Copies of this chain bind each other. A is one copy, B any other.
Amino acid sequence: MKPPSEKSASRRPSRPSYEPLQPHEIELADFFVRMAGILGVPRSVAEIYALLYISSGPVDFDQIQGRLGISKGSVSQGLKFLRDHEMILSVKEAGSRRERWQPTPSLAASLVALLRSQVLPALEQAQPGLQRVLADAQTRGSQPEVIERLSRLNRWNSRALELAPLLLPPPGA
């Protein structure tokens, strides 16, 4: 059932052959995959996070690739995504260039950051446009109902933008 190429059990760290996820690990991964799906985060990214989440210590690049059975490219991109959203931390081990990864302490904070990074830019970019749409509607004397809707949308947008920085300070906390 496995390639009969491991001769002596000793010196041979060249291709360590990692074991695939265990049933209980798969269960957790599925949960993260589903939740991530709601926000449009790709499967592979969720799987990586799940692996780090259920692992006792920091996990390195090759372990992730091996256990998840995905490509180097996916691992690299996945880690980049998680890094960019401050969902993981690297632990450098002495005397090696290799990085090892673990989840940031608070999943909650991670999720908030993730949401922020998706929603905020949209709100910001929309701000002037929405104001123009409202002004436009007022100018052309649209139905009061439409004006009312557009006003509410503008108010929300503004409030959301005001609140956002409080929810989580942009760079470091």
Contact = CB atoms under 8 A, between A and B. Distances in A.
Interface stretch (A8-16, A49-57, A65-73): A49-57
Copies in the complex: 2
Interface in A71-128: 103, 107, 118-119, 122, 125-126
A99 B133 CA distance: 27
Interface string A5-48: 00000000000000000001001101100110111100000000
A137 interface: yes
Contacts of A130: 27-28, 31
A133 B38 contact: no
B39 A143 contact: no
Contact of A34 (B34, B103, B126, B137): B126
Assign chain A's interface to a size class: 35 or more
Given A31-B130, A107-B153, A122 B38 contact: yes
30 contacts: A24-B132, A24-B133, A27-B130, A27-B132, A27-B133, A28-B130, A28-B133, A30-B129, A31-B122, A31-B126, A31-B129, A34-B122, A34-B125, A34-B126, A35-B119, A35-B122, A38-B118, A38-B122, A39-B40, A53-B149, A54-B137, A54-B146, A54-B149, A56-B143, A56-B145, A56-B146, A57-B143, A103-B149, A107-B149, A107-B153
